[in-house]
Chain A
Amino acid sequence: MSLGIALVAVLILALAAAWLGYARGRRLRTVGRLHSLPVYHGAYAALWAAIPALLLLAAWAPIQSRMVDQAVLSSPEGRALPAFEMQRQSILSEAREIASGEREQGFNPQSSTLAPRIRDAQSRYAVMGGAVALLVAMIAAGLALRRSAPQFRARTGVERWLMIVLLAASLIAILTTLGILLSLMFESLRFFKLYPLGSFLFGTEWSPQTAIRADQAGSSGAFGQVPLLWGTFFIGGIIAMIVAVPLGLMSAIYLTQYAHPRVRAWLKPILEILAGVPTVVYGYFAALTVAPVVRDFGLWLGVTSASSESALAAGSVMGVMIIPFISSMADDSIAAVPQAMRDGSLAMGATKSETIRKVLLPAALPGVIGGVLLAVSRAIGETMIVVMAAGLAANLTANPFASVTTVTVQIVQLLTGDQEFDSAKTLAAFALGLALFLITLLLNLIALHVVRRYREQYE
């Protein structure tokens, strides 16, 4: 918390520097013609005061927490802690919460005795870090203020800082991508140390129920991803697309080619609502309303194994969710077909539907296929509908009335139990996450490539 005080102090200092710089700039105005407005002189001093010191504080925070931990563990109270890593960590985190005032008391009495130690160490290191940061801020502000002169290009300096901020903001996207890749790969590597990669990739059995103790029966668990991938593809790639592609495509055709503009102005936003409904609502609807109907339908057809958590229920609701997505992609690709092709076909005497089926659709096909690929990628990454409606049994079956499970369902299952973080079960979730990430990445890249090449053709 005392780092927070340092933060506020730095900001106040920056404000003071801004005011000083501004006042100086105004005074200089009486001396001669300024290159930059007084405001820029103030902003220049403030930026120099704030940014290096804030960066320093941001770098200091993680170092401090590590040093606090070390100081606490080497104190007499800290050495009395149990040697077992997990127990020690849980007491430490309790003590941390007490020290920051989030809770009054821990479950473990040792955490209360540790709390004052933590508070001491924290304030000691925070004073150190804060003092250094303030010093840096003062020096930088002083140097910046000294440079103020009529011919000083304060605006250029400010703009250089702004440019750095802009670049940093756009680099966050790269950092996020890297963060995803690295964290997934790191945890997956740890998983593959416990479980062979080959059995993960090609194994056809998935039963992650590992026992708590190593000597119990069935302690190993099986992590073959094939049934999960099949279930994911079956629901998201086949059933959902069977629903979404015809409906989405025909909706797009009707809305762009046939509907009166006033009707379209009403229907298009209504379709868009389908995409805006939260997935948890679809999941609830699929589980509560659609699934029983599908099961009864299956039983009526004579499928005795019809489950109340069927692939068909989850897939069809997911398909409806995807309709507006396909529809707007198809809409774009049809609109991109040159008017001359349409006019040519109509002038030959073809009816509207013949023009659409034999000219517009073949011409727009690559765009539509790209859109469908993007939709598949979205469907297989979708979580809540399948978590709530598709079930947990990892079956390798093509029976739409049976229960299948998907990659996302298993990730949720593996990570929401009470498991320690290093077990094969939690690490398996990251391996599945990596697989999911790579598959969606591949689908997206192919789809974008297809769409872009097709656009170039007509431009």
Chain B
Amino acid sequence: MSTAAPTRWTEAAMHKRVRRRYASERLFRLVGLAAVSISVLFLAFLLYTMAAKGLGGFVHYEAALPIDFTKSDLFLDPATLRGPDAQQNVAAADLEGAISKAAVTAYGPAAAEMFGDGAVSTLTKAIVGNPDMLNGRTTLWLPVGSKIDIAAKDEGDDKAELLVNAARSKHALRRTFNLPFLTSSDSTDPSSAGVWGALKGSFLTIIVTMLLAFPVGVLAAVYLEEFAPRNRWTDAIEVSINNLAAVPSIIFGLLGLAVFLNIMNLPRSAPLVGGLTLALMTMPVIVIAGRNAIKTVPPSIRDAALGVGASKMQVTFHHVLPLALPGIMTGTIIGLARALGETAPLLMIGMRAFIAAPPGGFTQPATVLPVQIFLWSDEVDRGFVEKTSAAIIVLLLFMLLMNGLAIYLRNRFERRW
């Protein structure tokens, strides 16, 4: 500021300058508000896009299909369908052909491919549940194929639109909750693809991660905060923990590939290996959260316990750790939520295979929800666009649930000293 600048309030230049300064103050404030708003709007737009595209995935259309089993060539004898092999016997029959034939009779020659895999599994269930229907004529509500489903949701091609209109005019089309999406596994046919297999895989993986990362992380935090001597080893441990927390997740995938798969010969694509890999990634997060939680326990608690004769170990495990536990739990849940949404390291250890059955155990091939989303996003079939967004909604709900739990724990149990 030059010395000649007028500082008397009677001068017009002074007023002008102050006005300018206040204007820039308001502008600055507006820019700040805009920055926050852009972030919030982006989040809202992201969530809105996913919801708009994905909510359709939770409903699907069913069409009424009259089937005359006496005229179909299924060669199924109701008598053989009462034993434990019923499911297999029905699956061996050409249900797809029977459905296609019935569809052509009901809706004309264009309807040969009106129903997909979803209809076959619904029909299988219906026949196993009531074998006697094979002796007569029934009308069943079956889920329509992916193309028809898209057309019924108003964006399909002309041929499918015609079928939809035909079915609508007969009141033979209805919209229901897509239960198979939540109970079935991956499929090549979008109409019968579901998230259950991936959800179960995620669940098993997170259990392994939790069982390994939580105890190790808490014990390491206790050691570093309460017992570690100040020396070079402790420094090395601290540096490596802080560094591990910032290592890109894909590097952990490479580690898992090189060590767990190639050296230790653990099964590929298994939740066990995925859980191990994610545990190494989550452990530093838990250690850091644990140390912060232990730090907040006031020294007076330790002094009091030591004063009445407790050993250092007793002070830590009887008094400090229980008081720090809510904070540690909060950090752990947030770390596990991050592990739940992680994709890249699991791609490295082969959890990207097409797996049509939910995993039966920790060593069976499995996939997880984020990887399933990634795989579906690569599919060419238009029916998968909706499925991908619907799976994203499921994933986001789980993240929300876990973070909500963490916030609840923090508010409910955390103490202010």
Q: Give residues in A with beta carbon < 8 Å to B.
A: 62, 65, 93, 97, 102, 155, 159, 162-163, 165-167, 169-174, 176-177, 179-180, 183-184, 186-187, 246-251, 253-255, 257-259, 267, 270-271, 273-274, 276-285, 287-289, 320, 323-324, 351-354, 356-357, 374, 377-378, 380-384, 387-388, 408, 411-412, 415-416, 421, 429-430, 433, 436-437, 440-441, 444-445, 448
Sample (24) of A-B pairs whose CB atoms are under 8 Å apart? A102-B364, A159-B313, A169-B223, A170-B220, A173-B241, A177-B244, A180-B247, A183-B254, A184-B258, A267-B40, A276-B337, A276-B399, A287-B377, A288-B377, A320-B39, A384-B343, A384-B370, A388-B374, A412-B347, A412-B348, A415-B254, A421-B262, A436-B250, A440-B247
Contact in complex: B50, A281 (CB < 8 Å): yes
Q: Judge whether B280 and A279 touch: CB under 8 Å.
A: no
B356 at the interface (CB under 8 A from A): no
Question: At the interface, yes or no: B283 with Cβ under 8 Å from chain A?
Answer: yes
Check A276 against B403 for contact (C-beta < 8 Å): yes
Q: Are B43 and A273 in contact, CB atoms less than 8 angstroms apart?
A: yes
Question: At the interface with chain A, which of B26-34, B61-69, B99-107, B154-162?
Answer: B26-34
For residue B240, which residues in chain A have a CB less than 8 angstroms away from its CB?
173-174, 176-177
| Contact partners of A436 in chain B: CB under 8 A | 248, 250-251
Provide the residues of chain B in CB contact with A270, threshold 8 Å. 40, 43
B227 and A278 form a contact (CB under 8 A): no
When distances are taken between beta carbons in the complex, the residues of chain B under 8 Å from A271 are 36, 39-40
Is B134's beta carbon under 8 Å from chain A? no
Asked whether A280 lies within 8 Å of B265 as measured between CB atoms, the reply is no
User: Are B46 and A415 in contact (CB-based, < 8 A)?
Assistant: no
Judge whether B363 and A383 touch: CB under 8 Å. Answer: no
Contact mask B247-264 → A, CB, 8 Å, 1/0? 111111011011100101
With contacts A159-B311, A279-B343, A441-B247 known, what are 5 further pairs, Cβ within 8 A? A102-B363, A163-B227, A251-B32, A281-B50, A436-B248
List the A residue with the shortest CB-CB distance to B28: A353
B22 at the interface (CB under 8 A from A): yes
Is B70 in the interface zone, CB < 8 Å from A?
Answer: no
> What is the CA–CA distance of A173 and B233 in the complex, to the nearest angstrom?
12
Closest-by-CB residue of A relative to B219 is A169
The answer to whether B396 has its CB under 8 Å from any CB of chain A is yes
**A232 to B: closest C-beta gap in Å:** 11
A408 touches B21 (CB 8 A): no
Whether A441 pairs with B243 at a CB distance below 8 angstroms is yes
Question: With A62-B264, A254-B36 in contact, is A278–B399 under 8 Å at CB?
Answer: yes
Docked-complex contact A166 and B246, CB < 8 angstroms: no
Question: Given A170-B223, A278-B343 in contact, is the A284-B392 Cβ separation under 8 Å?
Answer: yes
B250 touches A412 (CB 8 A): yes
Given A278-B370, A280-B374, the answer on whether A247 and B248 have CB atoms closer than 8 Å is no
- Does B24 lie at the interface of the complex (its beta carbon under 8 Å from any beta carbon of A)? yes
Question: In the complex the two chains form, what is the Cα distance from A381 to B281 in whole Å?
Answer: 14
| Chain B residues in 8 Å Cβ range of A279 | 341, 343-344
A164 to chain B, nearest CB (A): 10
B343 touches A171 (CB 8 A): no
Considering only CB atoms, which chain B residue lies closest to A321 in the complex? B42
- The answer to the question of B224 belonging to the interface, with a C-beta cut-off of 8 Å to chain A, is yes
Closest to B32 in A: A254
Contacts of A388 in B (CB 8 A): 374, 377
> Across the interface, do A169 and B216 meet the contact criterion of CB distance under 8 Å?
yes
CA distance A353 to B23 in the complex (A): 11
Interface residues of B in 123-168 (CB under 8 A from A): none
Once bound together, how far apart are the Cα atoms of A162 and B241, in whole Å? 21
Known A267-B40, A383-B249, A411-B254: A356·B244 in contact at CB below 8 Å: no
Interface size for B (C-beta < 8 A) is 85
Report yes or no: B241 in contact with A166, Cβ–Cβ below 8 A: no
- Residue numbers in B under 8 Å from A282 (CB-CB): 46
Judge whether B395 is part of the interface by a CB distance below 8 angstroms: yes
CA distance A253 to B33 in the complex (A): 9
Q: Is there contact, CB below 8 Å, between A170 and B228?
A: yes
Smallest Cβ-Cβ distance to B33: which chain A residue: A254
List chain A residues, Cβ under 8 A from B363.
102
> Is B222 a contact partner of A166 (Cβ separation < 8 A)?
yes
A-chain residues with CB within 8 Å of residue B264 when the two chains form the complex? 62
Shortest CB distance B96–A (Å): 26
Q: How far is the CA of A249 from the CA of B347 in the complex (A)?
A: 34
- Of the residues A408, A437, A440, contact of B344 by C-beta under 8 Å: A408
Q: Which of A93, A184, A246 contacts B35 (CB 8 A)?
A: A246
Q: Which 7 A-B pairs have the closest CB atoms?
A: A381-B248, A278-B341, A254-B32, A250-B35, A169-B219, A383-B344, A353-B28
Complex Cα gap A270–B40 (Å): 7
Cα separation A330 to B219 with both chains bound (whole Å): 32
What 0/1 pattern do residues 212 to 245 of B give for CB contact below 8 A with A? 0001110110111001100000001100111110
Tell me if B342 is interfacial: C-beta within 8 Å of chain A: yes
Distance (Å) between the CB of B373 and the closest chain A CB? Answer: 5
Q: Which residues of A contact B403 (CB under 8 A)?
A: 276
Name the interface residues of B390-404: CB closer than 8 Å to any CB of A. 392, 395-396, 399, 403
Cβ-based interface call for B49 (8 A): yes
Tell me how far the C-beta of A4 lies from the nearest C-beta in chain B, rounded to whole angstroms: 12
Contact assessment for B395 and A281 in the assembled complex, using a CB-CB cutoff below 8 Å = yes
* CB pair B39 A274 closer than 8 Å: yes
Chain B residue nearest to A439 (CB atoms) is B248
The residue among A247, A270, A274, A276 with the most chain B CB atoms within 10 A of its own CB is: A276
Cβ–Cβ contact B28 & A320, under 8 A: no
B265 → A minimal CB distance (Å): 7
B227 touching A258, Cβ below 8 Å: no
Query: Does the CB pair A247–B237 fall under 8 Å?
Result: no
Considering the chains assembled together, what is the distance between the CA atoms of A155 and B363 in angstroms? 40
Would you give the shortest CB distance from B385 to chain A, in whole angstroms? Answer: 8
Contacts of B341 in A (CB 8 A): 276-281
What residues of B have a CB within 8 angstroms of the CB of A176 in the complex?
A: 240, 244, 255, 280, 283
Contact present for B39 and A357 (CB under 8 Å): no
Q: Contacts of A324 on B, CB cut-off 8 Å? A: 39
Question: A249 — which chain B residues lie within 8 A by C-beta?
Answer: 35
Residues of A within 8 A of B25 (CB): 351-354
CA distance A310 to B350 in the complex (A): 27
